[in-house]
Structure 1
Amino acid sequence: MDPVVLAAGTALVTAMTGDAWEAARGALVGLWRKGRPEESEAVGSELERARSVALESRRTTDTDTEQALVGFWRMRLDHLLRECPDLAGDLRTVVEKDLVPRLGAGERDRVTALFGQTEAHDHARIYQAGRDQHIDGE
């Protein structure tokens, strides 16, 4: 599964339980409206129902249900991208611009780690590796 889809599913369910909800819902419905407009209204309703489940799972600390929601939305997004591959860039934009900036710092780090988004400032360096990394002195 595409790393952006993994990140989007996680960010979406996280956003469902916080202040980012309205922006997340609007962005996702907008994504469906671009690719599968006939499904966009139904997706909006699904998101509302999922939010109720997410809020209840947070309230009762039911992490299994929350993870099931993440998996469900990852599958829905993966299916959308398989049908409409031209939406991949739009999904990445939704994650980077609409979802991630509105999450808390810890949640933001967890989501961006899924698709390798990093940011450096001033003279900082970023070293990324999929496995072991060895850096010899300079």
Structure 2
Amino acid sequence: MDVATVTEAAGTALVGAMATDLWGKAVDGVTALWRRAYPDRAETVAAELEQTRRQVLAARQSNDERALQDLRTGWQLRLAQFLDLEDHKLAEELVAELHRLVEEELKSAASLSEHNCANKVEMKVVALGTSRVNQVAGNQYNYKD
């Protein structure tokens, strides 16, 4: 398995998952990987993931795609450095586990997050008096029985 491909997919999926309900699984999975290689750093990484999540949510709120890309790239690099271990057998195991985490848990969460972000609609209507208001986020059809 190519480490660069796995870390690129993992960084992208991780940041995407940060804005979904599956965030808890993502942070648990990544923290568990860190705990295997660097047990003394796992809690620090968990805190950094929480901080990144706050940044992701703020960037999504303000539609700041550049900030999101910077966060993706940052975690891609962080994961690549993490997997650069002297113990090659452990590194291979962690790459395989990271790949499994991305494919089975993070990828679906990230795609759901991207889908929800792309289809976000915000509408506000003020009706005064006896006005009739129809508000639709898509197509509106008049059907006759």
Answer whether TM exceeds 0.5 for this pair.
yes
The residue type equivalent to 2:5 in the other structure is P
Q: How does 1:1-138 map to 2 (within 5 A)?
A: 2-83=4-85, 85-86=91-92, 87-104=94-111, 107=114
Write out the 4+ residue segments of structure 1 that deviate beyond 2 Å after TM superposition: 101-108
C-alpha separation between the residues in 2 aligned to 1:106 and 1:58? 10
Residue segments in structure 2 that go unaligned for 5+ positions in a row: 116-145
**CA radius of gyration, larger in:** 2
How many residue pairs match? The answer is 108
Shift of 1:43: 0.2
Q: 1:4–1:92: 8 Å Cα contact kept in structure 2?
A: yes
Identity of aligned residues (%): 35
Per-residue CA deviation, residues 85-114 of structure 1 (Å, 9 max, x unaligned), is: 231111111111221233446959xxxxxx
Q: TM-score, normalised by structure 1?
A: 0.72
Rate the CA distance shift 1:28–1:94 in 2: closer, same or farther, 3 A: same
C-alpha separation between the residues in 2 aligned to 1:95 and 1:107? 15
Q: 2:35–2:41: 8 Å Cα contact kept in structure 1?
A: yes
C-alpha separation between the residues in 2 aligned to 1:106 and 1:55? 11
Q: TM-score, normalised by structure 2?
A: 0.69
